[in-house]
Copies of this chain bind each other. A is one copy, B any other.
């Protein structure tokens, strides 16, 4: 409940998110032309219509698909996430891509409202509410050449620079199209993935896929930030939707013009699969781990004092004259004050895909950074981290992508329409 209340609060500044809906009962939703819980479509004449009981808020929470920005950016990350990249099939160009984005948008709009799209007989998400499902679509650099839209490719889609710590797998990097799915229920998320993948079949082929997770709603009473698999509170210094400069940091201005004017209201997503070297990390004492990060593990408070939300005092010294936040502490090197105010919204999922040949866990962070301009967000911060971050010894960046995520669409439109038909 605490988490849900927080979601509403965090979303308060995105006007459309104040329309966050709780689909309380099947009959109430039915009156609006929908049937909650995925009971419509192929299953419309069946017993679920008579379902007497209400979903809890976990299942019934719905985030609107339509709006000035796409969902899945300013909303808190859900308990389950899928990241997918597709490459257009040989011969599929701008027209086929437009048709695909139209199909995808219609499906995403239906699913996020708790409807079953026409003709869906999978039944995977039957009984469940939309469970805060979001679906977010983006375009990779390669998309523009393949669709004859090179002239409208944003300058911000220049390839990311190489970092010395990178060990990137090209097969799990980049891609023409990117889809981010998030939901608080695993079957709701999987259902969306299956339908979108099948709709792509003749037009685009799955290039890579990654599955991630966050805390289950109600598993913790910690109201704000998540923990990652290193046990560290993560995301404390994220811009907040209630900040006056939140939109300026995260979204391309709504009046953005020029060849890439279609990106008005959009954002750029930097996606990094960051494996954590947990065997090494967990050998460190608690005190050493905390010095590497610069925050206490228990509550996320900076080692310069206070609580999690206390501003970090980078100048503070200890009685012995040493810096409270070490010179190579992660939060010092990553701090906006160390990077000309650069900022991005990090909205991550943890991942865990088993173990590697040497027994080490194949686990870490599906890092997703959102910003109005990657050259003023991820790139300068990562350049600095690459050189001086004490944490980088315990991380491997194994995959990378940069995607242009257009603004949201209104009902009857589809995501990317201004690019593909403009």
CB <8 Å contact, A186 and B297: no
User: CB within 8 Å of B: which residues of A?
Assistant: 1-2, 37, 39, 42-43, 46-48, 51, 53-59, 79-80, 121-124, 126-129, 131, 184-188, 190, 194, 197-198, 205-206, 209-211, 213-222, 227, 229-232, 278, 282, 284-286, 289, 296-299, 301, 307, 350, 352-355, 359, 361, 363
CB <8 Å contact, A59 and B126: no
- List of B residues within 8 angstroms of A354 by Cβ: 209-211, 353
CB <8 Å contact, A219 and B352: no
Question: Which one of A57, A126, A218, A350 has the greatest number of beta carbons of chain B within 10 Å?
Answer: A218
CB <8 Å contact, B220 and A297: no
- List of B residues within 8 angstroms of A215 by Cβ: 128, 185-187
CB <8 Å contact, A129 and B47: no
Query: Of B131, B186, B209, B220, which is within 8 A of A127 by CB?
Result: B220
Query: Of B54, B221, B227, B297, which is within 8 A of A43 by CB?
Result: B297
**A-B residue pairs in contact (CB < 8 Å), sample of 21:** A1-B56, A48-B298, A51-B221, A53-B221, A58-B217, A121-B286, A121-B297, A122-B282, A123-B227, A123-B286, A127-B227, A129-B219, A185-B219, A186-B214, A186-B350, A187-B229, A187-B350, A194-B282, A209-B354, A217-B218, A353-B354
- List of B residues within 8 angstroms of A232 by Cβ: 123
In the bound assembly, the distance between CA atoms of A354 and B127 in angstroms comes to 24
- Shortest A156–chain B CB gap in Å is 29
In order of increasing CB-CB distance, the 10 nearest A-B pairs are: A123-B231, A58-B218, A46-B298, A185-B219, A56-B218, A121-B286, A59-B219, A186-B213, A127-B222, A47-B299
In the bound assembly, the distance between CA atoms of A297 and B80 in angstroms comes to 24
- List of B residues within 8 angstroms of A188 by Cβ: 219
- List of B residues within 8 angstroms of A47 by Cβ: 296, 298-299, 301, 307
Q: Decide yes or no: A2 and B53 within 8 Å by CB, A59-B221, A216-B184, A359-B206 being known contacts.
A: yes
